[in-house]
Structure 1
Amino acid sequence: MTFLQLDNIKKTFGELSVIKGVNISASKGEFVVFVGPSGCGKSTLLRMIAGLEDVSSGTLAIDGKDVTYEEPAKREVSMVFQSYALYPHMSVFENMAFGLRMAKLPEDEIKRRVAEAARILQIEPLLERKPRALSGGQRQRVAIGRSIVRNPKIFLFDEPLSNLDAELRSQMRVEIAKLHRNLGATMVYVTHDQVEAMTLADRIVVLRAGLVEQIGSPTELYDHPANTFVAGFIGSPKMNFLKAKVTGADSATLQLSHPAFEAGSLSLTHLSAGKAKVGDTLTVGLRPEHLDVAAATPLLKLTADFSENLGGSTQIYARTGEETIIILANGRPDLTPGAQITAGIDPGHIYLFTPDGLAL
């Protein structure tokens, strides 16, 4: 059952079009992540769901009710911002209870809700502290707790972890995932960090310039990107791209040419081979983690540039003419800058895209 529905949502500021007709739906209890580069419209879209931005046109419904022009307080949503926005003069308890007091709930109910949220977030020992006595991660838990006590229909998160250091971000990702599992609530989460999107989401909405590029599970977007933008955005390190010329094509086989290919050309059996013709320039996509510098049958001949030792793996940067190829290799291969190396790949892991950037 659809719990959140956005139909042809548009947002303009004067003559500037920011959201250009977005259609998104989410089921009850689903964790949906909006991801995309800065300026793509993901936070604006979230603020429209919350009612903090007006909808220029389109329809927005929550739990079957049209809330397109409903006041924020009547939407039964709760939002966690990038900044913690805690009242510095109030204790943790008072910060979490403030919204409930404004709603004039009975004191016993306020205490019960705050105690339950504190238990879920494991911040019970912190209830009497002021925000200045808390770490960044603890402050973010308090901000999330302030949302939990309201029992909203939908939780909205606007880049809640961006102010935390790398280790805390990792810990809080786990905490938010656990929170979603325990509450079973519908959550919409905005981030520019595709690692957060991949680890948290049931489904990811990839946005670019106010439009939806693709919607799917993390696995679907990783394995079957709709275009080069999604392919390059989902996955870390990002996918490598090479422009290759089609030198032969029939209904089942493609022959591609590129100076970096070990044999000068690459022959692929491809289900969509018939859609390409001789003379076309296709984009070949190769994920760094799929390339193997120890492969018995090499595909690429490269010049090593430099490498980054990551402990259990090594990130190798290599060149083929003006193009850079990144390889994520197991262990610590001994490479000298300027050395000639080769890399192979399972043909099943080779992606092909049309001249317009669409998946072939």
Structure 2
Amino acid sequence: MSFLTIDNVIKQFGNLQVVKGVSIEAEKGEFIVFVGPSGCGKSTLLRMIAGLEETSEGTISIDGEDLTHADPADRHVAMVFQSYALFPHMSVYDNIAFGMQINKVPKAEIKARVLEAARILQIEALLERKPRQLSGGQRQRVAIGRAIVRKPKIFLFDEPLSNLDAELRTQMRVEIAKLHQEIGATMIYVTHDQVEAMTLADRIVVLRGGLVEQVGSPAELYDRPANLFVAGFIGSPRMTFLPGRIEAAGDAEIRVSSSAFARPQTIPGPFAHLPDVNSTVTLGLRPESFRIDATDPVLTATVEITEHLGGSTIVHARTSDGNSLVMATSGRAELCPGDALPLACIGAPHVFDAQGLSLAATRR
């Protein structure tokens, strides 16, 4: 039995249904990330797990216990919000200890739990400070420490890094990953940032419009996206999409032509399903799937913008048939706007049918 089971959960606000029958399972100790665009229902789903939003239909179970209608205090979860919500007049120690003090936990146990949380988060030297004396990253550590001392069965994170600058976000991502390794607790993390999802998750749940588009490891979602939405949402820079047409289709391979390509592409199977010959498809290629090749190019594009990132270069270009293309290359590519860019493809492109479903992956 899974440690966390969300079974056909629906959330309705009046006539508006924002979560539309979501079913997810998480094992004990797993790090699950809910990711998706704004308004997809990820934070609402997290708040239903916490008991902060009532579930309209379906069930939520934790460690074999149905907690669908239980009070938040009885769910054995701890939530870390985007807002730190620290008491400004209290020290770091008292902010972390406050919940235990209210519940009349013995002082010796309070002290032991606070010091252990401070050790894990490396904030021992900050325990006597007030929140105004802390940086944003330090305040977030205090908020996480307040969750740790509750010893919950599940940690819930609701976009906890959104208020931090880019450098601090990167640092805190590493700290949260270390925290998960050290305490081994089940963690559910909500973000709209797919980079956070890719770097933190054991498994990612991609949501759109209140529905689950795909569930899988970061590698599975990157290498085998179930549909066009997942393919475009997961990966930075995003996947290039080009129009195509099926010239021949069989179980072993298909042949696809495109106005962007100099010649048809043969793509090996197996396939989850096959489209009809002459039907339209979309070809998807990751930025690292292109390489500059003047001797035998598959397609030619015109450079529009180059982004030099030190050890790599991102090239934004436009194909001969007017579609945008993004290529990533190591080192510093000496390219200027207007340059012709002869390209070969490394590996076969992804192929999506007219409904946007991958030919090589089933929708989950």
| Global fold match (TM > 0.5) | yes
Q: Deviations over 1:41-84 (max 9, x none)?
A: 00000000000000000000011100000000111100000010
Q: Which amino acid aligns with 1:95?
A: N
Aligned length: 358
Matched residue, 2:286: 287
Matched residue, 1:318: 317
Calculate percent identity across the aligned residue pairs. Answer: 62
Matched residue, 1:191: 191
Alignment of 1:19-34 (within 5 A): 19-34=19-34
Matched residue, 1:115: 115
Matched residue, 1:41: 41
State whether structure 2 residue 63 is matched by structure 1 residue 68. Answer: no
Matched residue, 2:299: 300
Local SS of the residue matching 1:2: coil
Cα 1:223–1:94 shift into 2, 3 Å: same
Relative to structure 2, which stretch is displaced further, 338-347 or 205-214?
338-347
Local SS of the residue matching 2:46: helix
Q: Deviations over 1:85-132 (max 9, x none)?
A: 101111100100111011111111111110110011010000000000
- Mapped to 1, the partners of 2:187 and 2:59 lie a distance apart of 19
Local SS of the residue matching 2:302: strand
Query: Which runs of no fewer than 5 residues in structure 1 stay unpaired?
Result: none
Matched residue, 2:160: 160
What is the deviation of 1:304?
A: 1.1
What is the deviation of 1:341?
A: 1.2
Superposition CA RMSD, Å: 1.4
What is the deviation of 1:204?
A: 0.6
- Mapped to 1, the partners of 2:152 and 2:250 lie a distance apart of 56
Relative to structure 2, which stretch is displaced further, 266-275 or 39-48?
266-275
- Mapped to 2, the partners of 1:30 and 1:269 lie a distance apart of 34
- Mapped to 2, the partners of 1:69 and 1:205 lie a distance apart of 24
Local SS of the residue matching 1:292: strand
Runs of 4+ in 1 over 4 A off after TM superposition: none
- Mapped to 2, the partners of 1:186 and 1:2 lie a distance apart of 11
What is the deviation of 1:295?
A: 7.1
- Mapped to 2, the partners of 1:218 and 1:255 lie a distance apart of 29
Local SS of the residue matching 1:141: helix
Relative to structure 2, which stretch is displaced further, 327-336 or 140-149?
327-336
Matched residue, 2:353: 354
Asked if the contact 1:249–1:274 (Cα under 8 Å) also holds between the matched residues in 2, the reply is: no
What is the deviation of 1:296?
A: 5.2
- Mapped to 1, the partners of 2:43 and 2:66 lie a distance apart of 21
Alignment of 1:185-224 (within 5 A): 185-224=185-224
Q: Deviations over 1:267-325 (max 9, x none)?
A: 33333397122221111010002211247542221111111111111110110233110
Local SS of the residue matching 1:271: coil
Local SS of the residue matching 1:344: strand
Alignment of 1:6-155 (within 5 A): 6-155=6-155
State whether structure 2 residue 335 is matched by structure 1 residue 338. Answer: no
Relative to structure 2, which stretch is displaced further, 8-17 or 244-253?
244-253
- Mapped to 2, the partners of 1:151 and 1:29 lie a distance apart of 13
Query: Which runs of no fewer than 5 residues in structure 2 stay unpaired?
Result: 360-364
